[in-house]
C-alpha cells in the first residue's frame, strides 16, 4: 500500500493549484497525509475545508521541511501497513497512472530503495531534474537539467540522489537508515538522506516513463517574507553535509570554492538588484556552515 506526505506552511498563493493537482493523483494513493508546519489558524481551517478526507498533522512550531516530512513519515510507520511512502510537494503535477507505475516499479526489485519520475519544469517540456548525482563533496550535480525531454534520454538513470519533493521510498529504508536530519531544517536534506541510503546498499533510480512537473508559483512580488532564506540554508547545508561525511580538506576546499568563486558572482548580481539582504544571508550561511552551526536560524513566515 502507498501513503503520501505533503507539507505546507501558509501557502495561500498555491492552495487552489495544489487541490487541483491532488485530484489528479488521489486515486493512486491509499493514505494522504498533510503536515502543517505551524501555519495560522485561518490557513489550517482552509486546509481542512479543501482536503476533508486527508489526515492533517498539525505541528506547533515550524521545523522546516525535515521535521515536517519526518512527522508524516513517523505517522505512516506507526500504522505499519504502508510499504511505500511518497514525498510530494504541493506544487507537483503528476497523474495517478504514473504514481501507480512508480510504486509497481519500486516494488519490482528488492535492492531498489527509492525512485522518482523525470521532473520537468512548469512548461512540461524542459527538464528540471533527472538522474541526480553527487560530487565528492556531496553537492548536487544535475545531469540533464535545462534539456528537453525527448527520446535521446535514457529510459532509466541510476542516481545518487532524488528530488526531495517528488520521490517514492520503501518504508524499510527509513527503518534501516533513519529519517531526515532535522538539524538541516530545509534545503539539501535529500543529499544527506540519499547518501545514507546508497551507503546502506540501496539502489536509486529515476525513470522517464513516469513524468511529473514542478509548477512553482512565486510569492507575489513585495510580499516575500525573507528573500535570503533559501540562500542561507543552501550555502550552510552544503558545508554541514560535507563536514558530516567528508574530510576536513574536502570541507575547506568546498568553503573556499563557494567563498571565492561562487559567491562573488551572486554578490554582484544582488548588489545591482539592490538586495543587500540576500548578500548578508548568503555569507552568513557560509560562515555558519564552516563553523558547524545547524538548526533553525532563519524562518519562513
Query: What pairs with residue 141 in β-bridges?
Result: 133
Predicted confidence (pLDDT) at residue 130 exceeds the cutoff of 70: yes
Predicted confidence (pLDDT) at residue 219 exceeds the cutoff of 50: yes
Predicted confidence (pLDDT) at residue 142 exceeds the cutoff of 90: no
Query: What's the whole-number mean pLDDT along residues 253-278?
Result: 95
Predicted confidence (pLDDT) at residue 31 exceeds the cutoff of 60: yes
What are the sequence ranges of the domains in the chain?
Answer: 2-214, 229-291
pLDDT value for 282? 97
Residue 2: closest CA among 124, 169, 199 = 169
Residue 146: closest CA among 126, 118, 160, 164 = 126
pLDDT value for 225? 45
Q: pLDDT tier at 296 (50, 70, 90 boundaries)?
A: confident
Q: pLDDT tier at 222 (50, 70, 90 boundaries)?
A: very low
Residues 157-199: tens digit of each pLDDT: 999 999 999 999 999 999 999 999 999 999 999 999 999 999 9
Cell 561562487 belongs to 262
pLDDT value for 179? 98
pLDDT value for 297? 80
Can you name the CATH fold of 2-214? Spore Coat Polysaccharide Biosynthesis Protein SpsA; Chain A (3.90.550)
Other C-beta atoms closer than 10 Å to the C-beta of 209 total 12
Q: Provide the mean pLDDT of the chain.
A: 95
Q: What does the angle CA 134 – CA 140 – CA 146 come to, to the nearest 5 degrees? A: 120
**Span of 51-60, 193-202, 214-223 with lowest mean pLDDT:** 214-223
Predicted confidence (pLDDT) at residue 223 exceeds the cutoff of 60: no
Amino acid at each position: 500500500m502507498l501513503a503520501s506526505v505533503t507539507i505546507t506552511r501558509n501557502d495561500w498563493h498555491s492552495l487552489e493549484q495544489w487541490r487541483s493537482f491532488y485530484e489528479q493523483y488521489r486515486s493512486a494513493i491509499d493514505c494522504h497525509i498533510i503536515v502543517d508546519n505551524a501555519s495560522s489558524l485561518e490557513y489550517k481551517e482552509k486546509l481542512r475545508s479543501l482536503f476533508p478526507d486527508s489526515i492533517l498533522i498539525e505541528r506547533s512550531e515550524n521545523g522546516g521541511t525535515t521535521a515536517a516530512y519526518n512527522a508524516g513519515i513517523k505517522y505512516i510507520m506507526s500504522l505499519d501497513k504502508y510499504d511505500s511512502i511518497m514525498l510530494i510537494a504541493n506544487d507537483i503535477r503528476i497523474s495517478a497512472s504514473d504514481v501507480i507505475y512508480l510504486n509497481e516499479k519500486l516494488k519490482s526489485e528488492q535492492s531498489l530503495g527509492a525512485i522518482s519520475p523525470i521532473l520537468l519544469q512548469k512548461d512540461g517540456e524542459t527538464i528540471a531534474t533527472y538522474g541526480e548525482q553527487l560530487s565528492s563533496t556531496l553537492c548536487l550535480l544535475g545531469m540533464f537539467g535545462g534539456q528537453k525531454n525527448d527520446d535521446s534520454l535514457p529510459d532509466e538513470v541510476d542516481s545518487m540522489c532524488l528530488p526531495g519533493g517528488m520521490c517514492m521510498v520503501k518504508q524499510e529504508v527509513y527503518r534501516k537508515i533513519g529519517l531526515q536530519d532535522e538539524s538541516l531544517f530545509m534545503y539539501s536534506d535529500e543529499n544527506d538522506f540519499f547518501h545514507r541510503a546508497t551507503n546502506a546498499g540501496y539502489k536509486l533510480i529515476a525513470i522517464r516513463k513516469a513524468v511529473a512537473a514542478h509548477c512553482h508559483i512565486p510569492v507575489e512580488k513585495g510580499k516575500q517574507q525573507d528573500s535570503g532564506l533559501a540562500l542561507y540554508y543552501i550555502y550552510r547545508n552544503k558545508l554541514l553535509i560535507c563536514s558530516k561525511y567528508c574530510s576536513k580538506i574536502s570541507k575547506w576546499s568546498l568553503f573556499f570554492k563557494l567563498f571565492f568563486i561562487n559567491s562573488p558572482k551572486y554578490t554582484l548580481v544582488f548588489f545591482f538588484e539592490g538586495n543587500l539582504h540576500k548578500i548578508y544571508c548568503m555569507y552568513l550561511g557560509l560562515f555558519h556552515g564552516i563553523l558547524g552551526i545547524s538548526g533553525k536560524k532563519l524562518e519562513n513566515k
